[in-house]
Structure 1
Amino acid sequence: MLRVTLEQWRMFRSVVQYGGFNQASQSIHKSQSSIHNAVGKIESSLNVKLFEIEGRKTILTEAGELMLKRANFLLDEAAKLEIVGQTLGQGTESSLRIAVDEMFPQLLLYKVLDSVSAQYPMLQIELIESVLSGASELINNADVDIAISPVALIDGFSEQLCDIEFIAVANPEHALHALNRELSAEDLKSHRQVVVRDSALQNKSDAGWLGANQRWTVSHLRTSIDMICNGLGFAWLPISSIKNELEKGQLKPLPLQYNGKRSMQLHLIFKDKDSLGPAAKTFLGELRYQCPN
C-alpha cells in the first residue's frame, strides 16, 4: 500500500509552485491546515524533511528537491492516465486540435482534413497555423493534440514527415533580377529581405538566411508572398506555397551563385499516442499516407 496519496503530493507541489503554505492555500482553495497536514504526512511517512523556513521564505531541502522531481513525474503520469481513461470512456472524440507550420503544403493538408471529416462528420477540427517553434510550444503546453513542426520534441513522439524545399525569389522587375548575372551574398545584403517571425511566445528561433541589411519581419507566410509579389523585397519561400505565383510570372527565382535551394524537415509530433482518440489516429494515418517523404 502507498503511504502517500496523490492529493498529498499535489499539495506538496503547490507549496513549491506558489512559494509558501499561505500562497498555496489561496491558490488551490484549501485551508492552510490541510496543506500543512498533507506535507507533514509525507514527511512522517517517509522520514524525510521537505522544507526549511528561512525568515518568511519556505525553502525546499535537498531531499525536497529530489522528491519534487519524482512527484512531478508521478502527478504528470496520473494526469495522462486520466486522459487515456476519458478517451476510452468517450469513444470517438468530439474535437481535434491540430497545429500546422505554415510551410506545410496547404492542398495536401486540406485533402487529409477532408478525408478525416468524411469519416467523422461530427468531429470539430480546430486548426492553428504556426511558424517555426510555435507548433512545438503548443504541444508542450497541451494546447493542441497533434502538430506538424520543424522542431522535434525532446519529451514526446517525433516522426520525420517530409522535407520542404525553399528557393530565393523576387518580383521579375526587382533590381536584383536587373543585374542579369549570378548573385552573391553581398548582392543580397544590399536589398530588403522579408522574413516570417517565429509564432512561439517563448524560446523563439530564427531560420533561413538573415544577412540583409534591410529586413521586414511579418507574422504570416502569405503576407511575405504578397509583399514579394509586389516588388517590396526578396525572400526564401517554400516552393509548394508559391507554385501559382511562379507559373503566373509574379515571382522569379533569384540566380544565386551558391545554395540555390534549401530545405527544412518537418516532424509529426504529439505527446502520448494512448491519449489520442480514433479520429486523431485516423488523421495520423491519412497524413502518413498522403505525405510524400
Structure 2
Amino acid sequence: MLKTTLGQWRMFRAVVEHGGFSQAGDAIHKSQSTIHHAVQKLEDALGIKLLRVQGRRVRLTEAGELMLRRANYLLDEAAKLEAVATGLGAGTETQLKIAVDEVFPQELLYKVLDTVSSQFPLLRIELMETVLSGARELLESARVDIAISPLELSNGFNEELCNIEFLAVAHPSHALHQQEHALTFEDLKSHRQIVVRDSANDHRKDEGWLGANQRWTVSHMRTSIDMISKGFGYAWLPTPGIAGQLRQETLRALPLEQGGKRTARLFLSFADGDRLGPAARTFIGELRYRSQHLPTAEDLIR
C-alpha cells in the first residue's frame, strides 16, 4: 500500500510554488493548518525532510528538490489520466491512424495535423505513408481509420478530395533536354525511368511505367525526386512535391508533344462514418477545407 497520496503531493507542490503555507492555502482554497498537516504527514511517511523555513519563506531541502521533480511528473501524469477519462466519457478517441498516399502535399498535411493536435492535445496520431494501393489496403484491413488514396474503397465511404497534377521532369542537363524537337513517348523509352513501387502487400499496381529499357524502382517518392534532381533519370512527379526543385531549376519540365502533364484524383475514404470520433471528424473537415485550392506547376514556379 502506498504511504502517500496525490493530495499530499499537490499541497507540497503548492507550498513550493507559492512560497509558504499561508500563500498556498489562499491559492488552492485550503486552510493553512490543513496544508501544514498534509506536508508533515508526507515527511513522516517518507522519513525525510522536504522543506525548511528561512525567515518568512519556505525553501526546499536537497531531498525536497529531488522529490519535487518526481512529484511534478506524477501530478502531470495524473492530470493527463483524468483528461483522457473525460475525453472517453465525451466520446473523444485517444488515437487516430491515417494512411496517406505520398503524392498528397506534405505541407498541407502537416498544417491539418497541427490543427487537429492543437484541438485534441492528448490525441496520438499515427501516420502511414503509402504508394498507390497501400492506403486502401491498410483501410480495408482495418489498420487505419482514414485513408487518402488514388484508389477508392470497395465497401465504404469515398469522396473525391482533390486532383494532383503530375509533371514529366528531368534535370536540365539530362540528355532528354538536349533534344532539338518535341519529345514523344518513344524518345522516353530509351532513357532510364524512375518508378515508385506500390506499397501494398497484395494486388500491387504497376502504373505510369512506359516500358523504358532501363527502370529503377524505389520505395519512396522522396527517393525518386532526389535521384531525378541529380540527373539519374526522368519521371512524372507530383508538382506540389517538387516546388523547390522547379524554382531552383534542379528539375525542369520535359518538352513532350503530349502527356507532359497528368492529373490523378485522390479520394478521402473511411469504412464507417458512425465509428469516427470528434478528432477524426475534425481532421476530415480541416482536410476538406485546405484541399480546395491546390497550386499548379505554374503557380509553384512564379
Is the structural similarity TM-score above 0.5?
A: yes
Query: Match for 1:214: what amino acid?
Result: Q
Query: Match for 1:289: what amino acid?
Result: Y
Report which of the two structures shows the higher radius of gyration computed on alpha carbons: 2
Give, in angstroms, the shift of residue 181 of structure 1.
Answer: 2.1
Give, in angstroms, the shift of residue 136 of structure 1.
Answer: 0.2
Provide the residue aligned with 2:4 in structure 1.
Answer: none
Provide the residue aligned with 2:292 in structure 1.
Answer: 292
Stretches of structure 2 lacking an aligned partner (at least 5 in a row): 1-86, 294-302
Query: Match for 1:142: what amino acid?
Result: A
Provide the residue aligned with 1:269 in structure 2.
Answer: 269
Provide the residue aligned with 2:231 in structure 1.
Answer: 231
Answering whether residue 207 of structure 2 is matched by residue 202 of structure 1, we say no
Give, in angstroms, the shift of residue 90 of structure 1.
Answer: 6.3
Provide the residue aligned with 1:35 in structure 2.
Answer: none
Give, in angstroms, the shift of residue 252 of structure 1.
Answer: 0.6
* Inter-partner Cα distance in structure 2 for 1:246 and 1:134: 28
Task: Give the match's secondary structure for 2:151.
Answer: coil
Contact 2:161 2:266 (C-alpha < 8 Å) held by counterparts: yes
Task: Give the match's secondary structure for 1:228.
Answer: helix
Provide the residue aligned with 1:189 in structure 2.
Answer: 189
**RMSD over aligned Cα atoms:** 1.3
- Displaced runs of 4 or more, over 4 A: 87-90
After TM superposition, list the pairs within 5 Å mapping 1:70-81 onto structure 2. none
* Inter-partner Cα distance in structure 2 for 1:90 and 1:219: 41
Provide the residue aligned with 2:126 in structure 1.
Answer: 126
Query: Which string of whole-angstrom CA distances, capped at 9 and with x for unpartnered residues, describes residues 32-62 of structure 1?
Result: xxxxxxxxxxxxxxxxxxxxxxxxxxxxxxx
After TM superposition, list the pairs within 5 Å mapping 1:94-173 onto structure 2. 94-173=94-173
Give, in angstroms, the shift of residue 213 of structure 1.
Answer: 1.3
* Inter-partner Cα distance in structure 2 for 1:225 and 1:273: 36
Compute the TM-score of the two structures, normalised by the length of structure 2.
Answer: 0.67
* Inter-partner Cα distance in structure 2 for 1:288 and 1:249: 32
How many percent of aligned residue pairs carry the same amino acid?
63
Contact 2:164 2:265 (C-alpha < 8 Å) held by counterparts: yes
Query: Match for 1:155: what amino acid?
Result: N
Query: Match for 1:193: what amino acid?
Result: Q
Query: Which string of whole-angstrom CA distances, capped at 9 and with x for unpartnered residues, describes residues 9-49 of structure 1?
Result: xxxxxxxxxxxxxxxxxxxxxxxxxxxxxxxxxxxxxxxxx
Give, in angstroms, the shift of residue 208 of structure 1.
Answer: 1.6
* Inter-partner Cα distance in structure 1 for 2:286 and 2:100: 15
Contact 2:166 2:236 (C-alpha < 8 Å) held by counterparts: yes
* Inter-partner Cα distance in structure 2 for 1:167 and 1:138: 28
After TM superposition, list the pairs within 5 Å mapping 1:51-70 onto structure 2. none
